Amino acid sequence: MVAFQGGAALITQEPELAHRYSSANAPRSVFGFVIDAIRVISRAIHLQLPMNSVSSTDTHTDRFCVPDSLGFFGPYGGMFVPETLMTALFEFEQVFREAMADPAFVAEYEDLLRHFVGRPSPLYYAERLSEHCGGARIYLKREDLLHTGAHKITNAIGQVLLAKRMGKTRVIAETGAGQHGVATAAAAARFGLECVIYMGRVDMRRQALNVFRMNLFGATMRPVDSGQQTLKDAVNEAMRDWVTNVRDTHYVVGSALGTHPFPLVVREFQRVIGKELRAQFAEQFGRLPDEMAACVGGGSNSIGFFHEFLDESSVRMVGVEAGGRGITEGQHAARFAGGRMGVFQGCMSYVLQDGDGQINLTHSVSAGLDYASVGPEHAYYRDRGRIEYGYATDDEVIEALKLLCRLEGILPALESTHAVAYALKRAPQMRPDQVLCVNISGRGDKDVHTVMESLGVKPEDLVECS
């Protein structure tokens, strides 16, 4: 296995990371061998372990110790995929590690982040929102200002570069909110690759603006009519396509979830969010934030935002999931509030499922959080108590969105607004000398129709008012 090397400035700033990433260097214990045995057995029979079998005695304290060489974050993660994909996944991991150690690749990627994506994204003081809440000062990391309107482009451009490096001529992706689809379509257009996007019919309706943007970028849309016609169904169809066309096609996974090595690859591309934030805090305040909050769908914006600070015990971190209409089966997508350990779409994680292991229906006002499982790294840090998780309901989210629009002139994506809703409750409990930083993962233009519907506003009402 090729370890990361120090030349990869953006991804591996610290030279000792080559050592850190080499799982051969990880300390082994009897406990480690037992866990490995459980992994092998669970892989073989797709075992669904009860939550109380999760061990909290894992001794890793270093954020670069996970995932291990098999793609596991403690008991979570792994590669639960059809045999036909294994070669492609091993090749992808190999190419990824080599690319990250290649200064030419890293330089091209950093150049694209700066000139195509628009990084670094600003850190913004939400002064009127902070005054309204009382308590902590609230800062917003403005990923909504990036090209195509969300953090997703940072990962999409990285994976499209890797697809090119592997000699692939076609990329596919699935998308819920449409932001990852738009980002992949834009990146594919930039490099002249064929692009096919799978999207549930329900999501296509609620994110029609993004569907049209993908069309403009030359992507072929494949509507998905199976199941709930949302993200998990689109993932199934994308997997089917990939199994059939794996020779010339790369599947650009949009979040830090699914089979290894995607949780690792996506985290590494999104880590730039936290790196920028750390530098911005150092420059502007000479200190770290006291608390950070981000929404959690699959978990990419949040793990990218948090990762740089995981070793900083003074920084509290909170991930906010979709509470939907409340924590009743089928009415939400808060995996840590109602889920338990299971295998779903390529990896072991917390999954919303019934007593027989059937995947529950989910609901959220935001398409991008409306998913039954969560990235395995989040499950790992949740069990260790390093990242805390809560949820915001649809109603709280709509109220928070209205408030941010009115007080700051910022229209956040419904996904990101979950973290804003948390901040509205949390900031008043904090001191005025403390700083709460919220990741605004995307902008809300795509959600205007959903918000109008939630508020009972019809287009003809707007004409009457003006």
Ligand X SMILES: Cc1ncc(COP(=O)(O)O)c(C=O)c1O
Residues involved in catalysis: 152, 174, 441
Nearer of residues 42 and 345 to ligand X, judged by Cβ? 345
Measure CA 87 to chain center: 25
User: Could you tell me the smallest distance in angstroms from the CB atom of residue 241 to ligand X?
Assistant: 19
Q: Taking CB under 6 A as the rule, does residue 346 contact ligand X?
A: no
**197: Cβ–Cβ under 8 A, 6 or more apart, which residues?**
172, 173, 174, 175, 181, 184, 185, 214, 219, 220, 221, 222
- Report d(CA 190, CA 418) in Å as an integer: 32
Task: Work out the angle between the directed axes of helices 262-270 and 376-383 (0-180°, nearest 10).
Answer: 80
Task: Work out the angle between the directed axes of helices 152-165 and 262-270 (0-180°, nearest 10).
Answer: 120
Q: Among 77, 368, 376, 390, which residue sits at the site for ligand X (rule: CB under 6 A)?
A: 368
352, 373 in Cβ contact below 8 A?
Answer: yes
269, 83 in Cβ contact below 8 A?
Answer: no
**147-166 residues near ligand X, rule: CB under 6 A:** 150
Q: Taking CB under 6 A as the rule, does residue 413 contact ligand X?
A: yes
Both tokens of 238, joined, read 């994308």
User: Could you tell me the smallest distance in angstroms from the CB atom of residue 178 to ligand X?
Assistant: 7
Choices 50-58, 66-74, 173-181, 182-190; region in contact with ligand X by CB under 6 A = 173-181
User: Could you tell me the smallest distance in angstroms from the CB atom of residue 177 to ligand X?
Assistant: 4
The footprint of ligand X on this chain (CB under 6 A) covers a number of residues equal to 21
- Cα-Cα end-to-end distance for the chain: 64
- Report d(CA 417, CA 293) in Å as an integer: 11
179, 446 in Cβ contact below 8 A?
Answer: yes
- Report d(CA 273, CA 117) in Å as an integer: 13
Nearer of residues 302 and 362 to ligand X, judged by Cβ? 302
Nearer of residues 99 and 369 to ligand X, judged by Cβ? 369
439, 142 in Cβ contact below 8 A?
Answer: no
Pairing relation of β-strands 72-73 and 76-77?
Answer: antiparallel
Nearer of residues 35 and 186 to ligand X, judged by Cβ? 186
Q: Taking CB under 6 A as the rule, does residue 174 contact ligand X?
A: no
Choices 16-24, 88-96, 157-165, 410-418; region in contact with ligand X by CB under 6 A = 410-418
Q: Among 130, 229, 362, 441, which residue sits at the site for ligand X (rule: CB under 6 A)?
A: 441
Q: Taking CB under 6 A as the rule, does residue 415 contact ligand X?
A: yes
Contact letters for ligand X, residues 290-329 (x by CB under 6 A): -----xxxxxxxx---------------------------
123, 386 in Cβ contact below 8 A?
Answer: no
User: Could you tell me the smallest distance in angstroms from the CB atom of residue 179 to ligand X?
Assistant: 3
Contact letters for ligand X, residues 48-87 (x by CB under 6 A): ----------------------------------------
User: Could you tell me the smallest distance in angstroms from the CB atom of residue 144 to ligand X?
Assistant: 8
Q: What residue ranges bind ligand X (CB under 6 A)?
A: 150, 176-177, 179-180, 255, 295-302, 368-369, 413, 415-416, 441-442
